[in-house]
Amino acid sequence: MPEIRDLDMSVKTSYQKYTLDFKFDAGTSRGVLKTKDTFFIKIWDSSSPEKFGLGECGPLKGLSVDDRSDLDEHIEKVLNAVSEQKSLPQNKEEAYLLANELVGADFPSIRFGLETALLDLLNGGERKLFNNDFVLKQQPLPINGLIWMGEMDFMKSQVDRKIEEGYTCIKMKIGAIDFEKEFELLSYIRSKDTECVLRVDANGGFSTQEAQQKLERLAELNLHSIEQPIKQHQWTEMSRLCETSPVPIALDEELIGVYAKADKIKLLEELKPQYIILKPTLLGGFQSCLEWLSLAEARGIGWWLTSALESNIGLNAICQFAAELQAPGHQGLGTGKLYHNNIASPLEVVGDFIRYNSTHDWDLSQLKL
């Protein structure tokens, strides 16, 4: 049962742990995912309990800095502090400020979840965090089609399906199986669609000794970019790769745990990547991502947004954030169909776009908040 606090004050909160079940074994270079634990948080004013904000705190196992066994204790601590507030934020700037003050830097997924819940409540508790055309006019966002690791036949079937569905941008995870087989599959994608925007994500799977050679091979396929070719925290090697790689490099895991503005500037100026990947759950929410993209744009570095395997609660928030930013290019936001027990929502994927279909309702009956 969820923990509920009632301190005879106007602001009320609750939370619930929820385990998402993958529809298939989701392979990455860090292993195979079968389930994912997440936490939903709820905030409301006792005078209007029918209106409530929902947020999601869902760190990635083995990757997020707040992937820890006592995460629920820290969620409860933060929500107790929220319950002690005399009033709720009146605009998004106040929501970001409150989340920063109550959470800090060590729990990025909680900060994202709190920002989301506060913005949701601020806008009437209808899962509409921002007033932009994604929600108001069902303006779709272009997304990439994701190819998960697995047996060759499984990966090939995913490719065929994405191409049949009309995806013009495909992202394939590499770095865990034999490189020649991965190269063969990427060549197959390119043969099927010569104009497709083709991205790969190594999740740090290349060794520093082999990375340059593999990047030169991959360049033959006219790739858009490669995410995190080597493990993070190897700045000398990563800086060299960003300078010499024939395939543009996008930093992903490298950004995790970097919160101070001065440290963000140092990373961008020393490594000089072509792109950065912004994942609010991993990087500390919307405000932190806003700082990253501002610093990146000032240095001519591109960016896009990607989900971190959130349920539709978190995915909806990131989609609306992407629309608010008018995010360029294809976003990594096509994860809504990954789970057997996702939260039913107005989000739907049509071709290679995701949109908010307001004719569909949210179904929160699975939750016990």
Q: What is the pLDDT of residues 159-180, one digit of tens each?
A: 999 999 999 999 998 887 789 9
What number of residues does the chain have? 369
In words, the CATH class of domain 133-356 is alpha beta
| Active site annotation includes 173 | yes
Span 288-315, mean pLDDT? 97
Q: Range with the lowest mean pLDDT among 6-15, 38-47, 254-263?
A: 6-15
What mean pLDDT comes out for the span 247-259? 97
Comparing 126 with 192, the larger pLDDT belongs to 126
pLDDT at 335 over 50: yes
Does pTM surpass 0.85? yes
Residue 9 pLDDT greater than 80, yes or no: no
Fold equal for 3-122 and 133-356: no
Kindly name the residue from 36, 92, 173, 231 that is annotated as catalytic.
Answer: 173
Domain extents in the chain:
3-122, 133-356
φ/ψ (deg, to 5) at 36: -145, 125
**pLDDT 10s digits, 195-241:** 999 999 999 999 999 999 999 999 999 999 999 999 999 999 999 99
Share of the chain above pLDDT 70, in %: 96
CATH for the 3-122 domain, from 3.40.50.700, 3.30.390.10, 3.40.50.450, 3.20.180.10:
3.30.390.10
Report residue 2's pLDDT band, with 50, 70 and 90 as the boundaries.
very low
Secondary structure of the chain as H, E, C letters: CCEEECCCCCEEEEEEEEEEEEEEEEEECCEEEEEEEEEEEEEEECCCCCCEEEEEECCCCCCCCCCCCCHHHHHHHHHHHHHCCCCCCCCHHHHHHHHHHHHCCCCHHHHHHHHHHHHHHHCCCCCCCCCCHHHHCCCCEEECEEECECCHHHHHHHHHHHHHCCCCEEEEECCCCCHHHHHHHHHHHHHHCCCCEEEEECCCEECCCCHHHHHHHHHHHCCCEEECCECCCCHHHHHHHHHHCCCCEEECHHHCCCCCHHHHHHHHHHHCCCEEEECHHHHCHHHHHHHHHHHHHHCCCEEEEECCCCCHHHHHHHHHHHHHHCCCCCEECCCCCCECCCCECCEEEECCEEEECCCCCCECCCCCC
**203, 175 contact by CB (below 8 A):** yes
The pLDDT tens digits of the residues spanning 95-133 come to 999 999 999 889 999 999 999 999 999 999 999 999 999
- The pLDDT score that the predictor gives to residue 151 is 82
pLDDT over 90 percentage in the chain: 85
Answer whether residue 352 shows pLDDT above 50.
yes
| Burial class of residue 232, CB neighbours in 10 A (0-12, 13-18, 19+) | middle
Catalytic, out of 12, 92, 231, 279: 279
pLDDT above 90 (res 328): yes
Q: Residue 28: its pLDDT value, please?
A: 65
> Residue 24 — very low, low, confident or very high, per pLDDT cuts 50/70/90?
confident
279 catalytic? Reply is yes
